[in-house]
Amino acid sequence: MSKYQRVLSLLKNPPLGTGITVKGWVRSIRVGKGVAFIAVNDGSCVTSLQVVLDPGMPGYEEACKIGTGSAVGVEGVLAASPAAGQPVELRAERVTVYGGVDESYPLQKKHHSFEFLRSIAHLRPRANTFGAVFRVRSALSFAIHRFFRERGFVYVHTPIITANDCEGAGELFRVTTLDLADPPRIEGKPDFGRDFFGQATGLAVSGQLEGELLACGLSSIYTFGPTFRAENSNTARHAAEFWMVEPETAFADLADDADLAEDFIRYLCRFALEECAEDMAFFDKQIEPGLIHRIGALADSEFVRMDYTEAIAKLEKASVSFQYPVSWGLDLQTEHERYLTEKVVGGPMFVLNYPKEIKAFYMRQNDDGRTVAAMDLLVPKVGEIIGGSQREERLDLLQARMEQMGIDQAGLSWYLDSRRWGTCPHAGFGLGFERLIMYLTGMENIRDVIPFPRTPGHAEF
């Protein structure tokens, strides 16, 4: 591979007068009688590099026939641009076409709908919006690791294949090597005892339970990896395969947990604004006017904390009428959450201490006997972005709750052991990574912040 330079570094620190090579994809070409211009984008930044072709250049005629979307290499000299629109340009001396296009190339130099681009997800990385989305996604992945590393958290890898199906976090995708056409049977049902793992297994819907075990030894841990849910969810914010960040902290309570979540979100907002400035400016201009102000304001503000009980009182006093009933003991519906975060608070908010009947078995029971130490972080537009809790560390109370909820204790004996010996208070949360990216970029559909989204009926690419 011959040496070449990325557009980003050329624009940042232009080596004027120097011979260089760039490689990328043609965004547009404008051919005139005395001169031609090619905009070349290599995905290193939103901005394309203007390449100037002089008719005296060898191969000029062929170069002028290059279509939008072609992969090219350009050797030439970088020079200050005499025209407005770009500070520098590449005066081409030789153009190499690696891959041309014909008239059937679907990406044109025009606006395309996100619906259409989803149908050509294999080509959309060449579109400005998706270049920006995937660069921000990459940068924020790094930011997540940096945030936790700065705070002494240990990055742990929890299993992707699991035998737990009792976490209450959603439907499992089955993992099996049994012959589906004719599985071994026991009492008419497939005998998973003869499956690969000797029991029924599936893809993990959460790494939380294992994360708790690691925290109860390493003190502060986090996971960051793919998560799978076989739910028939058809919404702009659900996917069957998504990435989740799950920190877990020993000797922490619910207030500590919310503080960590707040610091975390604020850190990520600042990171996006500082480290992804050009892409964020693109989103601010093209996707959601006011985005930069919104993210900046969030980074500088305190997050509101409100008990579930108070939230219910606010909703009962609301002047608007809701489609779903509001009453202590009922879960908050999306319309209620949106009212709270968008109308009552006007920004991100934690709702804390939910009724125990509507939450998972592992959440710590509060002294009032009717609520658990759960929290949801709600943000405008996206809704629930974080869900977390302080975990029940008292063995007797945990077992009693599992008993009440009909959860098999034998299969979770290892989990109960962590409470049996050396138990400690601990808390954690789960952040939907794609929802974070949606919030930071203004993109409104989760299918547009994952390169190749998996949703019901869709596993193409």
Partner RNA sequence: UCCCCAUUAGCUCAGUCGGUAGAGCGGGUGACUGUUAAUCACCAUGUCCGUGGUUCGAGUCCGCGAUGGGGAGCCA
Q: Which is nearer to RNA, 67 or 296 (CB)?
A: 67
- Binding to RNA by residue 443, rule CB under 7 A? no
Q: Rounded to the nearest whole angstrom, what is the least distance from the CB of residue 331 to RNA in the complex?
A: 5
Q: Rounded to the nearest whole angstrom, what is the least distance from the CB of residue 332 to RNA in the complex?
A: 8
- Binding to RNA by residue 276, rule CB under 7 A? no
- Total site size for RNA, rule CB under 7 A: 74
Among the listed residues 77, 96, 97, 118, the single contact to RNA using CB under 7 A = 118
**Cβ-count burial of 183 within 10 angstroms (0-12 exposed, 13-18 middle, 19+ buried)?**
middle
Stretch 234-263 residues interacting with RNA (CB under 7 A): 234-240, 242, 244
How many CB atoms neighbour CB 381 within 10 A?
16
Q: Which is nearer to RNA, 43 or 387 (CB)?
A: 387
Using CB under 7 A, which of the segments 139-147, 272-280, 343-351, 443-451 binds RNA?
443-451
User: By the 8 A CB rule, do 437 and 133 touch?
Assistant: yes
Among the listed residues 8, 20, 31, 299, the single contact to RNA using CB under 7 A = 31
| Residue 185, CA atoms < 13 Å, CB-side half-sphere | 6
- Binding to RNA by residue 266, rule CB under 7 A? no
Tell me the C-alpha distance between 141 and 272, whole Å.
Answer: 11
Q: Rounded to the nearest whole angstrom, what is the least distance from the CB of residue 263 to RNA in the complex?
A: 17
Among the listed residues 84, 181, 320, 410, the single contact to RNA using CB under 7 A = 84
- Binding to RNA by residue 116, rule CB under 7 A? yes
- Binding to RNA by residue 106, rule CB under 7 A? yes
- Binding to RNA by residue 435, rule CB under 7 A? yes
- Binding to RNA by residue 182, rule CB under 7 A? no
Which residue bears the tokens 């409104």?
A: 444
Angle between helices 254-275 and 291-300 (to 10 degrees): 140
Q: 241: closest CA among 204, 200, 268, 201? A: 204
Strand order in the sheet with 174-175: 161-162, 201-203, 174-175
Q: Across the strands, what pairs with 304?
A: 349
| Residue 418, CA atoms < 13 Å, CB-side half-sphere | 21
CA distances from 11 to 16, 280, 299 (A): 10, 17, 29
Stretch 37-76 residues interacting with RNA (CB under 7 A): 37, 39, 50, 52, 67-68
- In degrees and rounded to multiples of 5, residue 311 shows phi and psi of -60, -40
The 354-393 contact track toward RNA, x by CB under 7 A, reads: -----------------------------xxxxx------
User: By the 8 A CB rule, do 334 and 383 touch?
Assistant: yes
- Binding to RNA by residue 458, rule CB under 7 A? yes
The 195-234 contact track toward RNA, x by CB under 7 A, reads: -----------x----------------------x-xxxx
